[in-house]
Structure 1
C-alpha cells in the first residue's frame, strides 16, 4: 500500500527531506508534481543546501548530471541514453513528461533521440529542482555547444571545465580545443585532455582562472601561449618547447608579465639541461630551495636552482631538466587553495 507522504505533518516531512541523498531526492521527485514542488521549495529556502553544485558530463554516450555537495565526491542523479538502446519489450519503461524513462537502476535513465536535447533537459530538471547552477562541466569534442549554453543560462561562471580525451579519431579536435579555450568561463580550473593536429596553434588569451592544465598532449603549446594564459598555476604535459622558447618567457615575466602566476610546470618532451640564458635576464645560481604545494600529490621541491628577479624586486626560482619548474617567491610558499 502506498505511503501517503504528503499527508505527513510538515515538520516530519521537512526532516525526511533533509536526510535524502541528492540521488534519492531526484528519484522521488518523479513521484508526483506536488512532491516535486515540495522538494523544490525545501531546497530553495534552506541554507543547508547552498553548497550543492551541479556537475554536467556530456561525452559521447556518457550523458549525466551529478550533484557535488561542496568539494565532496559527486553523486550521479540523472542520466540520458540514446533512444536506439531502448528495449521497449521490458516492463521497466514508463513515460514521464512525454519522455521514456526507466527507474530499475540506482539512477533514473531517460531515453532521447536528440542527445543535445536530452542533455539540456536533465540539466534543467536537476538545477531547477535544487535551485543551483552548473559549476562543473566535462565534455567531448562534439559537445562544445554546452559551454555557451551554460554561460547564457546562469550569471555565475563554472568553476571547473574539462575537455575529455576522446575514444575515436574524429577530425574536430582542433576546433573543439580552440572553442573551449576561447569561450570557457571558469573560476578555478580549465583542463584540456585532447589530441590536436601538429599544425594547431592557439592565438587567443585564456583566463583569468586559478589553474590551467594541459595534459600529456601539450605539444602544441607555444611560448606566446604561456605568456597569454592568465592563471595562478599552469601545468603543461609533453611540451616541445626548447631553451630558446623559454628565454622570452623569462624576459616577459621579469618585465612584469603574468603578474598572477605563482607556479609553472612544463614537461619537456625531449628533456634538456638549461644552461644558456640571455645576459639581460641576469639569471644567477642559488643554493635556495623552492617549494610549492601543488594541487595533487606531495609539494614540489626544487634544489640547485636558478634565481631571477622581477623589476619590482619579486624573485622566482626555477630548474630545467626533464621538467621546467618555475616558482614565484612571495615569502612562505602558499597555494590559492589554502
Structure 2
C-alpha cells in the first residue's frame, strides 16, 4: 500500500524502516511502500516468518497482476482462497490480459471471481482442480468449462447474462450420469428459462414434493429444494435437480446437488 497521510508507527523489515497502520476494528495491519509489489512481498515474508505460518487468503484488486500470486504459490504448499475483485462503486476495471493471466495462474483451493474486465475474456480449454469455483462475473465460461473443471462446488452467479440452454444442461446431466465430473457435489447457475422438458430428455427422474435443505461442502452455502427431481448416476449415487424462479430479477436458477450433503443428509 502507498502511504496517504501521516503515520508515526514504524517497523523494521529486512533492515528497512517502514510506516505501518493498525486497524483494530478490522483486525488488519497496513504497511506503506513506494513499490507496491516489492513491498507486499517483503510484508508477506515478514509476517509469515514472524508467526511461522502461510498465507491462507488473497484478495486481488484491479492494480495487481499474476506475479504476486505466482510468488505466493511457489513459496508455500497450498493456498486456501483467492478472491479476484473489482469495486463497482469505484468503477474499478481489470485489464483483460491481467485478469486472464491471474485466472490461468490460480491454483487455490477456493477461487472466487468477482471482477469486471476491460473487454470480454476468452479462455478456451480452461482447466483447474480446486474445491470451490465461484464466478460472479464471467461470460467466458461455457458448458465445456463446467464439465472440464475438477471441482466439488461450482457457483455461476451472473444474473445479467443467464447461461446455458435446456439442451446444454441436459448434456451436463448425461455427462454426470455416465461418470463425468465425479468430484462435483454442487452446481448452481443463472439460466434464462425453466427448460424442464429439454432438461430431462432421455433421463429417468422421480419428482419429489418434500422440502430439502442442502448444505454445501465449501463456502457454507445452503440450497433449498421444493418440488424437485431426483436422478441417479450409473453407480447408484443420487442427485437433486431443480429450476428455481427468481421473479424479482426475471431469470431462473438451475440447482444441482449430489447426496449426501455436508451434514450427511440424503
Determine the structure 2 residue equivalent to 1:186.
108
Determine the structure 2 residue equivalent to 1:228.
148
Q: Report if the CA contact (8 A) 2:57-2:80 is conserved.
A: yes
> CA offset at residue 260 of structure 1?
0.7
> Cα distance 1:245–1:104, how it changes in 2: closer, same or farther (>3 A)?
closer
> CA offset at residue 136 of structure 1?
1.1
| Length-normalised TM-score, structure 1 | 0.63
Determine the structure 2 residue equivalent to 1:99.
17
SS at match of 1:220: coil
| Length-normalised TM-score, structure 2 | 0.78
State the distance in 2 between where 1:196 and 1:103 align.
31
Q: Would you say how many aligned residue pairs link Structure 1 and Structure 2?
A: 245
SS at match of 1:245: helix
**Structure 1 unaligned spans of 5+:** 1-80
> CA offset at residue 179 of structure 1?
2.4
Give the one of 180, 186, 195 matched to 2:116. 195
Q: Write the mapping of 1:1-338 to structure 2, written as runs, cut at 5 A.
A: 81-83=1-3, 85=4, 87=6, 92=8, 96=12, 97-102=15-20, 110-143=31-64, 144-154=66-76, 156-166=77-87, 167-170=90-93, 172=95, 174-187=96-109, 189-196=110-117, 199-215=120-136, 217-238=137-158, 239-268=162-191, 270-277=192-199, 279-287=201-209, 289-294=211-216, 299-321=222-244, 322-330=252-260, 333-334=261-262
Larger-Rg structure: 1
> Cα distance 1:130–1:318, how it changes in 2: closer, same or farther (>3 A)?
same
Q: Report if the CA contact (8 A) 1:290-1:327 is conserved.
A: no
SS at match of 2:62: coil
> CA offset at residue 133 of structure 1?
1.0
> Cα distance 1:320–1:250, how it changes in 2: closer, same or farther (>3 A)?
same
Quick one: higher RCO (CA 8 Å, sep 6+), 1 or 2? 2
RMSD: 3.0
Q: Report if the CA contact (8 A) 1:136-1:160 is conserved.
A: yes
SS at match of 2:144: helix
Q: Report if the CA contact (8 A) 1:209-1:230 is conserved.
A: yes
